[in-house]
Amino acid sequence: MLRDLMQKNRSYRRFQQEVAVDLQTLRELVDLARLSASAGNMQPLRYILSCDPEKNAVVFPNLAWARYIENWPGPAEGERPSAYIIVLEDRQVDHPLHCDHGIAAQSILLGATERGLGGCIIGSINKLNLRNELNIPVRYDILLVIALGKPKEKVEIEKLGTDGDVKYWRDSEGVHHVPKRALDEIILPL
Ligand SMILES: Cc1cc2nc3c(=O)[nH]c(=O)nc-3n(C[C@H](O)[C@H](O)[C@H](O)COP(=O)(O)O)c2cc1C
Sort strands 155-159 and 176-180 into parallel, antiparallel or unpaired.
parallel
**The pLDDT of residue 40:** 94
Alpha carbons 186 and 7: distance in angstroms, whole number: 18
Indicate if ligand 1 lies below 6 Å from the C-beta of 59. no
**One-letter amino acid of 173:** E
pTM of the full predicted structure? 0.98
Confidence band for 94, pLDDT divided at 50, 70 and 90: confident
Cα distance between residue 18 and residue 15, in whole Å: 9
What is the rounded CA–CA span in Å between residue 126 and residue 116? 29
Question: Is the Cβ–Cβ distance between 160 and 175 less than 8 Å?
Answer: no
pLDDT at 95: 84
- Please check whether residue 60 is in contact with residue 51, taking contact to mean a CB–CB distance below 8 angstroms: no
Distance of alpha carbon 169 from alpha carbon 67, whole angstroms: 10
Distance, CA 121 to ligand 1 centroid (Å)? 6
Using CA positions, which residue lies closest to atom 26 of ligand 1?
A: 10
> Phi and psi dihedrals of 83, rounded to 5?
-160, 160
Quote the ligand 1 centre to 28 CA distance (angstroms): 23
Nearest by Cα to 102 from 41, 36, 158: 36
Return all residues near 111 (Cβ < 8 A) that are at least 6 apart.
Answer: 28, 29, 32
pLDDT band for position 188 (50/70/90)?
A: very high
**pLDDT tens track for 120-152:** 999 999 999 999 999 999 999 999 999 999 999
